[in-house]
Structure 1
Amino acid sequence: MGRAVAHLFAGVVVGPLAFAWAVATTLATAVLSFTYVGLPLFLVVTWVSRRVARFERLRAGWVLGVAVPNPYEPVAGHPWRRGRALTRDPATWRDLAWLGLSFPVGGLTGVVGLVVAVVDLGAVLAPVWLWAVPNPHLHPAAHWLFNTVPGRFAFSALGLAAAPLALRLVPALSRLQASVAARLLGPDPRRQVVELRATRLRVVDAQAAELRRIERDLHDGAQARIVAAGMTLALADRRLRAAGLADDPARADVLNARRQLDDALVELRRLVRGIYPPILADRGLAAAVAALAADAPFPVTARADDLGDLPPAVEAAAYFVVAEALANAVKHAGAAACEVEAARTADGGLAVTVRDDGRGGADPAGSGLDGLRRRVEALDGRMDVTSPPGGPTTVTAEFPCAS
Structure 2
Amino acid sequence: MRWGQGWVQAWRGGVYLLGALLSGVVTVLALPLLCVPRLARLWADWHGERAGRLLGTPPAPAATRGRTARALLWLPVHAVTGLALGLPALLCAGNIVVGVIAASLWWAFGPDDGPKLFMDIPVHGWVTALTFGPLQIVLLSILAYLSFPPVARVHARICLAVLAHTAQEQLAERVAVLTRTRADVLDAHGAELRRIERDLHDGTQARLVAIALRLAVARQAFADNPRDEQLVAGLLRDAHEGTEEAMTELREVVRTVYPPILADRGLDGALTAVTTRCGIPTRLDMGELERVPAAVEAVVYFAVAEALTNVTKHSGATAAGVRLGRSADRLSVVITDNGTGGADDRRGTGIAGIRRRVHALDGTVVVDSPAGGPTAITVELPCGW
* TM-score bracket relative to the smaller structure: 0.3 to 0.5
Normalised by the size of structure 2, how large is the TM-score?
0.39
Normalised by the size of structure 1, how large is the TM-score?
0.37
State the structure with more CA Rg. Answer: 1
